[in-house]
Amino acid sequence: MNICKQLTVFLCVLSAGIAIATVNFSGCAASKPKELTPEQKKALQDSLFNEHKKQLRLWNSLAYEPFRQRDYAQAKKYYRRIAEVDTSGIYSSTVYRNLGTCYIQLNEPDSAEWAYKLGIERNPDDPYSHKLLAYIYRIQGRTDEAIAQYQTLINLEPDSVGHYKYLGELYVRNGEIDNAVSAYQKAVLLDPSEKDTQQILNNLLSQTNNVDALIAQRESMVERFPEDMNFRTDLAKSYFDIGAFNKAVDQLKVILEKDSDNIIALEMLGESYKQLDRFREALGIYRKILSIHPDDKKNRCNLAMTHLELGEYSTARSEVRRVLRIDPDYGLAFLAYGMIYEHSANRCVDSGDGKITFDDKLVYKMAYDQYARAKSDPEWKSDAERRMNYLEGQIPTTGDYFMNKNVTMPRKACYDWIQ
């Protein structure tokens, strides 16, 4: 006989006993019993209900000790009895939590789900059963169902940082990045001191096209954690990427005050100075980098191109040649070499009447030939081809060579550095 039937029989017997007692008391056993008054009906119902509660208390008592001793199989028997017959919700949601815990410990997740759902049905505003059900859905990969539980939990406990973090994590699993961003933004708003959550939000925003939101987040992170140089580096990079070079410089200087040999910060600062036409300051930065790493090919090329911007072509060429002694096939070195010649030619043309002479064409051809060599390096091929295409109409033609026989080097004074 199952538990429900047992309880039904118990209640029926109890009801019959009370009815017989009522009849005997009235002295009318042989006649039709009188209909109970409302007061008598209530007394009968109260009596039945009290007996029902006694039975539930007994089962709860029998469940508690084995549960405390982690005898989950024994505790489960009594908690399940309560869950099956306590349809009026006398007992608190603790019973359903404990029953679910028993099932979890006994590796019966489907039954645990049933217990937590029953707890929610009988106590819909109890957050704990929702949390446990959400946990089951999370570990089983039932993302949409878990999201629904956390959305309910947020309504029940709107100030819980954890609910928003779990919700954000689930949205990430679903590929719903915008929703994940919103969830983590709420978590950060509730607890801005949580560094890991700030970093997750930062990473998510970097996957969106919302540059303003990303910068605002990074500014907030730096304000909250001013000593975290990684956060400050991210902010500097955001400023750099949008062309806010002065703001980038401000952040990079703070970083370098803490770590003067930070190559990433030094490189970004050098390029920021170049973009701001502060070439002398850029030279100092690249020299600093090369004092740390003398064979740094990329930054020696950067140093060369900074000299180029200052019109110091001979010095720029010397730096490029140093790079090519380190790596004779380095495409960026040939690209820089070509840019030195091209920049020099542009300056000579601009300093005259603006017309391109055969001397200028010879220097453009020197640039073109260097770009052709850069094209052999796959990393710099597209840049080299673009520059070659630009110079196609400025290099000497067959007719130019015919009209200037035996002239192989430019003769203008502005090209004296080439000799």
Report H helices in 276-377.
279-292, 297-309, 313-326, 331-351, 358-374
> CB–CB of 52/82 below 8 Å?
no
58-96 burial code (b ≥16 CB/10 A, e <16)? ebbebbeebbeeeebebbbebbbbbbebbeeeebebebb
CATH number of 295-419: 1.25.40
Rounded Cα distance between 328 and 322, Å, is: 10
Rounded Cα distance between 182 and 195, Å, is: 17
Report H helices in 140-210.
143-156, 161-173, 177-190, 195-205
Residues 6 or more apart in contact with residue 257 via CB below 8 angstroms: none
Rounded Cα distance between 332 and 319, Å, is: 12
Per-residue pLDDT of the chain (419 residues), as tens digits, is 444 444 444 444 444 444 444 444 444 444 566 787 877 667 767 676 677 778 788 888 888 889 989 999 999 998 898 888 876 666 667 888 899 999 999 999 999 999 999 889 888 888 999 999 999 999 999 999 999 999 999 999 999 999 999 999 999 999 999 999 999 999 999 999 999 999 999 999 999 989 999 999 999 999 999 999 999 999 999 999 999 999 999 999 999 999 999 999 999 999 999 999 999 999 999 999 999 999 999 999 999 999 999 999 999 999 999 999 999 999 999 999 999 999 999 999 999 888 999 999 999 999 999 999 999 999 999 999 999 999 999 999 999 999 999 899 999 999 999 98
pLDDT of residue 40: 67
Rounded alpha-carbon distances, angstroms, from residue 394 to 57, 359, 400: 98, 11, 11
CATH 1.25.40-classified regions of the chain: 295-419
